[in-house]
Structure 1
Amino acid sequence: MAHHDRALKAVVMLGMLVIIFAGIRAGADIVVPFILALFVAVILNPLVMLLQRIGLPRLLAVALIIGIIVLASVLLLTTLAAMLNDFARTLPQYRLVMLAWLEETRQLMARFGVPFSFGEAMALADPNAAINLVSRLVSQLSGAISGIFLLLMTVVFMLFEAPLLPGKLRRILSRPGDGMAAIQQALDSVSRYLILKTAISLLTGVVVWLLLWLMGVRFALLWSVLAFALNYIPNIGSVIAAVPPVIQALIFNGSWESVVVAVGYLLINLVIGNMLEPRWMGRGLGLSTLVVFLSLIFWGWLLGLVGMLLSVPLTIVVKIALEQTPGGERLALLLSDGRPPGDGRPHSV
């Protein structure tokens, strides 16, 4: 009978999870901006507190930080929009270059007996298709300004609410001591991860820009911003970011330059991703490599690109929440890297 009750309880819980996930997907247009604003507020709150310790009132501290972000966002979006327009205008000029490169590729494939359709390849490399894609990106950048404004307004109200939140939570939680300790642990872990990941991503973007600028690859700033953004995606983000500049260097600069760019991206990933990041992250966040990859797929399916960018901190929150619930310790252990709590070996996610 007890076994039957446990099975029924498990089925009910799974059904509830399915309903919750379906609701989150259906309301993604509302949920995703809220989650993104929440994590931005988590990153900015330590900076606000630092300015408060210096002597600034919280109102001025929040206004100063948000003002800097707005100014930087406007400058970045304006620069990217101009660069994308320039990229679209130059695409037709390279049609002859692409034709010659495809003809060389066809001859090389013919030597090895590999079938190669010149017409289909040229259709894939049609500048008009690329121009349409770039035009859509420019229009999306223009529409992103209103979205960023609403996002920052939500962040502002969250930052003003932050000092009042601990008192409210203590009144709500049934076990205030344990509950506040778990919330603080989650905030500390997520905040530390996001701040360090932002610094590492910024360093990656700067080094990528320097590499492409030295190699004479056009639109270096565009590809460096892409490298910065995709570096938040674990495991595959840096690989995806390397594909467009390598292809551009192969077609427009030459084979040797494309090899150098590819090797440069590989070295950047090895040095920053596999050497500096584990050292800065310390022991890491206690998630296994398999869980990090599966969480990337799951959160990407549930929340789209934002879910992929925030897959690690979201999984951290879930893991800490499971550790505080009866019967959730075993699931939390499955998400962990399996190391004892006292193990201080470096580990990066």
Structure 2
Amino acid sequence: MTRPDEKQHATVPLNLMLTLAALVVIVAGMRAGADLLVPVLLSLFIAVVCSAPIHALQRRGVHQRLAVWLTLVVLSVLVSLLAFLLVNSVGTFTDELPGIQKTLQEYYYSVLTHLSGMGLDIDADWVAGEMDIAKLVAWLPELLSQMGGLLVQSLLVSLLVVFLLFEMLNFPDKIAHALDNPAPSLRRFSQFNHTLKRYLAVKTLVSLATGALVWLACLLTGSEFPLLWAVLAFALNYIPNIGSAMAAVPPVLLMMVSPESGALKALILAGAYLVINVVMGNLVEPRIMGRALGLSTFVAFLSLVVWGWIFGTAGMLLSVVLTMTLKIALESHPQTIWLARLLGSREGLAPNGSG
């Protein structure tokens, strides 16, 4: 006769296989529906960020619906102004991109020739052929086109944000009426909502500050298209580990090959990028956000690979945000908090390791 504990152990591999199979189906579905899911996720995160000023207005006595409309109007004005300025910068940059690539390729070839002339065993023709500089910088126009695609979907995203903000006003009441014992669910939802809102607000503010400092650094060093590089730094700040480096490459290379600037100013700009990202990423953001909201370095990089594979460039931009959302959701339930601790960084653990 089979004992109960043996039967329980026998079901563990089956449950694991069913869980993995369900995960494969979910990931495949998300990848197939990426065109639909990306605007929905983007609008959801924007709605969560916008809920902070809405609640601040409510605390000052403003009616709920009026607070929503005031926030939407201010957000629409700011985004429209930024989009208008950015379109001009992107258009000018796109027109000049062939000339920039040609100048960069000539500079690159001259460096190889110079190194070959110094006695190094380098075949300049072979290296230049194997490492086509046009291919190396081809990711930037592709990234800009992906970001432009998100702007094209801005009407859909805007409508979703409007509906989500009004839906969020009544969501706790709906949970209270839908469940027999809503208190635990409401408590977990409130904890999840508060932590996610705080994380997204801090991350967005840090990214805005990073973009503003990059704009100032580009302006002071005389770099072309400072607004474009500021927006690029803001967007890529959401990508872990490599995002800041990717944001620095185009303006530094452009300044290096520019006749008016040269290598010295390019080095100064690269140093400014390094200082900004070290200060904002390693000092300011952890201090404001708290170590407990961090991800381990491996999980952050893995999330970049996984979400980038599922959703493309938009998934790379939202990788940490999506993984942090999953971590916060796991933390809000006692049965899954151990998974959240596995995703977290070492600094987020208690001194005794018990969390």
- TM-score interval, smaller chain: 0.7 to 0.9
Which residue pairs with 2:3 in the alignment? none
How many equivalent pairs are there?
339
Give the structure 1 partner of residue 320 of structure 2. 312
SS at match of 1:226: helix
Partner of 1:27: 33
How far does residue 88 in structure 1 lie from its aligned partner after superposition? 3.3
Q: Could you say which residue in structure 1 is the equivalent of 2:44?
A: 38
CA distance in 2, matches of 1:287, 1:54: 35
> Would you say the 8 A contact 1:320–1:332 is kept in 2?
yes
Residue 298 of structure 1 deviates from its aligned partner by 1.8
Alignment of 1:254 with 2:262, yes or no, is yes
Secondary structure in 2 matching 1:56: coil
1:98-121 CA distances to partner (integer Å, 9 max, x unpaired)? 465245313222122222228638
Partner of 1:347: none
The Cα shift of 1:95 comes to 7.5
| C-alpha distance in 1 between matches for 2:152 and 2:104 | 38
Query: Which residue matches 2:188?
Result: 182
1:263 lines up with 2:268 in the alignment = no
1:21 maps to amino acid: V
What is the aligned counterpart of 1:218 among 216, 224, 235?
224
Question: Under a length normalisation based on structure 2, what TM-score does the superposition of the two structures give?
Answer: 0.84
Structure 1 segments of 4+ aligned residues over 4 angstroms from their partners: 91-100, 133-140, 143-146, 323-327, 338-343
Deviations 1:148-167 (A, max 9, x none): 12111111111111121012
Quick one: which amino acid aligns to residue 169 of structure 1?
I
Q: Is the 8 A contact 1:102 1:121 kept in 2?
A: no
- Structure 2 gaps of 5+ residues are 1-6
* Distance of 1:136 and 1:161 partners within structure 2: 33
Q: Distance in 1 between matches of 2:171 and 2:32?
A: 28
Q: Structure 1 pair 184/194, CA: closer, same or farther in 2 (3 Å)? A: same
Match of 1:332 in 2: 340
- Alpha-carbon shift at residue 193 of structure 1 (Å): 1.1
SS in 1 for 2:223: coil
Whether the 8 Å contact between 2:214 and 2:230 is mirrored in structure 1 is yes
SS at match of 1:117: helix
SS of 2:293's equivalent in the other structure is coil
Q: CA deviation at 1:247?
A: 0.8
Aligned with residue 109 of structure 1, among 102, 110, 115? 115
Aligned residues of 2:300 and 2:320 also touching (Cα < 8 A): yes
For structure 1, which segment, 327-336 or 20-29, has the greater mean C-alpha deviation from structure 2 after superposition? Answer: 327-336
Q: CA deviation at 1:11?
A: 0.8
Tell me how far apart the structure 2 counterparts of residues 191 and 170 of structure 1 sit (CA, whole Å): 21
The structural deviation recorded for 1:40 is: 0.8
- Please tell me the residue identity of whatever aligns with 2:167: E
Q: Helix, strand or coil for the counterpart of 1:113?
A: coil
Residue equivalent to 1:120: 129
Cα-Cα RMSD: 3.0
Q: 1:140 to 1:316 in 2, by over 3 A?
A: closer
1:258-281 superposed Cα distances (whole Å, 9 cap, x missing partner): 111111111111112111112111
The residue correspondences of 1:287-326 to structure 2 (distance < 5 A) are 287-323=295-331
1:163 to 169, 183, 187: 169
Structure 1 Cα separation of the partners of residues 341 and 98 of structure 2: 55
Q: Distance in 2 between matches of 1:217 and 1:24?
A: 40
Q: Distance in 2 between matches of 1:261 and 1:150?
A: 37
Go from structure 1 to structure 2 and tell me whether the alpha carbon gap of 1:340 and 1:277 turns closer, same or farther (over 3 Å shift): closer
Q: Are the counterparts in 2 of residues 84 and 134 from structure 1 also a CA contact under 8 Å?
A: no
